[in-house]
């Protein structure tokens, strides 16, 4: 239950705004992130903040949470002026935040990470017990004793949410909280949030998933270019009208025309691989195929072997049995990522900063991670070509950045995602493997990325997409697999897939599901 505000008479609790921002302005070199922003949140209100990538939403939330200092403006909390200088002061007031990019220490356990933000009079075993109880109460399964570096992105998200809930907040800020959660987990989270709101906790909710905002939120503030451009009751809006408020137009419809896939490009046959992590998931008999000119999707609950499979396919883990992974018939199971790229395999990991991009390097310099055409004779870098390539990606994918020299860490999460996906697509791969392609990007950018993936497919590329968003997989996939407990289901044509069937398979319940003759032939061929 959320804590009762101090120094506020009980009769005023329902009339005094929980949070009131007036004239908030924040400038950075070359950009005004927030310009004269005003916002009011009532007690027990679930209030959405909607805007395209780079609209200033995350900066505004960081100001409320004390991790960014505004240049101008006033903040009132429970009717009292406050100057929140750091997150510790914010938590003392009753403000908690779940960031889109997690703030966890990899070498510490889940319990130790949570303990850092709680009252130090509590003992670590007490914190671990509280985590287990809260996880069970809200259906956010997590082991308090696991080191954070062993967790998937979805599991890290659960840790952040549980840590925020344990502070018993009066105001809970959620920045893209469902970006890596399954539909079942989202439903459970919404039950939690409605319970918190009924107890008086106010919630600021940032999401690019318009159907979530319409289902959950009772008020909405729309931002564009760092300014407030409108307010609405999302329950009275459609996805199309919310999209128009946010980006000024509806996202383009995807072209789902028929096509005919070609020869197999990726063949995985009987891949069994013990996890090199004691908390990981072993792969058992993974068999799949991806043909030229098709998009194959893999659905599943986070932590069921996706990361282990992707590491084996990308070459980060080269322990796979010889012959178990082939590209156009060539055994690549144990060759390096660089040699796989030379064959035309490109990879977009789910972790943007630190794995998909070096935070402190510029966007142009980050092209060198997977592109070698800007390296001349003798190893000399063609800096002009790098800048030009980065400029092209920034323009084509509408990345909001201060030019090709901008550091990767200076971009919003969605804009960095657009750049990384664009970097790999523009390399014209023969095989593209993408994990969570539209994690945290706005509806317009998500439609663009999906459209580029389909265009790449139509150009003859084989595409494998691992995503926890079923709507996304249904929209772009030609065939679907489900991964559960390190095992892979039979493949299913998109036309035969339903949310109910895929959801059942996510629990591993596909044995005896009546595979089609085509599926059986495909597996036999891939395993050969």
- 404/87 Cα distance (integer angstroms): 32
pLDDT digits (tens, 9 = 90+) for 435-492: 999 887 778 888 889 999 999 999 999 999 999 888 889 999 999 999 999 999 999 9
What are the two backbone dihedrals, phi and then psi, of residue 89, each rounded to the nearest 5 degrees?
-65, -35
Residues paired with 147 in a beta bridge: 109
Instruction: Please enumerate in sequence order all residues whose Cβ is within 8 A of that of 464, keeping only pairs 6 or more positions apart, or say none.
Output: 266, 290, 295, 296, 297, 298, 313, 431, 432, 433, 434
Residues 394, 410 contacting (CB under 8 angstroms): no
pLDDT of residue 181: 67
Least confident of 127-131, 135-139, 173-177: 135-139
- 412/58 Cα distance (integer angstroms): 8
Q: Tell me which fold the domain 12-94+170-177+194-250 belongs to.
A: Rossmann fold (3.40.50)
Instruction: Please enumerate in sequence order all residues whose Cβ is within 8 A of that of 415, keeping only pairs 6 or more positions apart, or say none.
Output: 53, 54, 399, 400, 401
Average pLDDT of the chain, as a whole number: 88
Instruction: Please report, rounded to a whole number, the percentage of residues in the chain having pLDDT higher than 70.
Output: 91
Note the Cα 70 to chain centre separation in Å.
27
- 401/409 Cα distance (integer angstroms): 11
Residue 525 has pLDDT above 60, yes or no: no
What is the 8-class DSSP label of residue 4? Answer: P
Sheet strands side by side (includes 325-327): 283-291, 264-273, 325-327, 330-331
Residue 308 has pLDDT above 60, yes or no: yes
Instruction: Please enumerate in sequence order all residues whose Cβ is within 8 A of that of 288, keeping only pairs 6 or more positions apart, or say none.
Output: 266, 268, 296, 481, 488, 491, 526
Closest Cα partner for 272 from 319, 340, 336, 329?
A: 319
Structural domain boundaries in the chain:
12-94+170-177+194-250, 103-168, 252-344+429-528, 355-426
Whether 12-94+170-177+194-250 shares its CATH topology with 252-344+429-528 is answered yes
* Per-residue pLDDT band at 14 (split at 50, 70, 90): low
Distances (CA, A) of 119 to 52, 126, 162, 432: 37, 11, 15, 47
Provide the Cα torsion 396, 402, 405, 411; round to 10°.
Answer: -80
Residue 123 has pLDDT above 60, yes or no: yes
What is the 8-class DSSP label of residue 342? Answer: H
Burial class (CB in 10 A: 0-12, 13-18, 19+), 379: exposed
Residue 403 has pLDDT above 50, yes or no: yes
pTM: 0.72
Instruction: Please enumerate in sequence order all residues whose Cβ is within 8 A of that of 474, keeping only pairs 6 or more positions apart, or say none.
Output: 494, 497
How would CATH label the architecture of 252-344+429-528?
3-Layer(aba) Sandwich (3.40)
pLDDT digits (tens, 9 = 90+) for 173-224: 998 887 666 666 778 788 889 988 998 999 999 988 888 999 999 999 999 9
Q: How many helices and strands, by DSSP H and E, does the chain display?
A: 17, 21
Least confident of 205-214, 287-296, 313-322: 205-214
């Amino acid at each position: 239950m959320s804590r009762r505000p101090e120094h506020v008479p009980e009769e005023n609790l329902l009339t005094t705004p929980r949070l009131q921002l007036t004239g908030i302005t924040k400038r950075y070199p070359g950009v005004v992130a927030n310009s004269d922003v005003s916002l009011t949140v009532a007690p027990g209100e679930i209030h959405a903040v909607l805007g395209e990538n780079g609209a200033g939403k995350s900066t505004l939330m960081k100001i409320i949470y004390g991790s960014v200092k505004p240049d101008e403006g006033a903040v009132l909390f429970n009717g009292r002026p406050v100057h929140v200088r750091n997150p510790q002061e914010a938590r003392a007031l009753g403000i908690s935040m779940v960031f889109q990019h997690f703030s966890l220490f990899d070498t510490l356990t889940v319990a130790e990470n949570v303990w850092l933000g709680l009252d130090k009079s509590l003992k670590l075993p007490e914190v671990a017990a509280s985590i287990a109880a809260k996880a069970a109460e809200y259906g956010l399964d997590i082991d308090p004793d696991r080191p954070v570096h062993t967790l998937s992105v979805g599991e890290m998200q659960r840790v952040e949410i549980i840590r925020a809930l344990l502070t018993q907040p009066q105001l809970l800020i959620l920045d893209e909280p469902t970006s890596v959660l399954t539909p079942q987990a989202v439903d459970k989270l919404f039950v939690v949030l409605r319970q918190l709101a009924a107890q008086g906790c106010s919630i600021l909710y940032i999401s690019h998933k318009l159907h979530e905002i319409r289902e959950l939120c009772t008020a909405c503030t729309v931002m564009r270019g760092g300014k407030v451009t409108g307010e609405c009751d999302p329950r009275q809006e459609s996805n199309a009208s919310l999209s128009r408020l946010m980006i000024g137009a509806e996202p383009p419809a995807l072209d789902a025309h028929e096509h005919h896939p070609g020869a197999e490009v990726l063949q995985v046959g009987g891949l069994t691989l013990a996890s090199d992590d004691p908390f990981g998931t072993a792969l058992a008999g993974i068999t799949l195929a991806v043909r030229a000119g098709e998009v194959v999707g893999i659905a599943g609950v986070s932590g069921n072997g996706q990361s282990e499979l992707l590491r084996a396919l990308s070459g980060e883990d080269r322990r796979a049995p010889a012959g178990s992974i082939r590209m156009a018939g060539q055994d690549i199971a144990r060759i390096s990522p660089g040699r796989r790229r030379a064959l035309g395999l490109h990879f977009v990991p789910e972790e943007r900063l630190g794995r998909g991009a070096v935070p402190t390097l510029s966007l142009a310099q980050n092209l060198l991670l997977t592109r070698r055409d800007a390296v001349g004779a003798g190893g000399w870098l063609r800096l002009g070509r790098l800048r030009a390539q980065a400029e092209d990606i920034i323009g084509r994918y509408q990345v909001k950045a201060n030019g090709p020299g901008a550091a990767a860490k200076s971009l919003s999460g969605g804009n960095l995602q657009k750049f990384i996906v664009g970097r790999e697509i523009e390399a014209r791969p023969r095989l593209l493997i993408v994990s969570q392609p539209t994690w945290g990007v706005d509806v317009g950018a998500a439609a663009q990325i999906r459209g580029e993936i389909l265009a790449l497919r139509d150009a003859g590329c084989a595409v494998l997409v691992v995503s926890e968003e079923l709507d996304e997989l249904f929209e772009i996939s030609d065939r679907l697999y489900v991964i559960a407990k390190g095992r892979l289901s039979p493949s299913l044509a998109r036309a035969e897939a339903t949310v109910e069937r895929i959801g059942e398979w996510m629990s591993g319940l596909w044995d005896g599901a009546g595979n089609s003759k085509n599926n059986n032939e495909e597996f036999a061929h891939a395993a050969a």
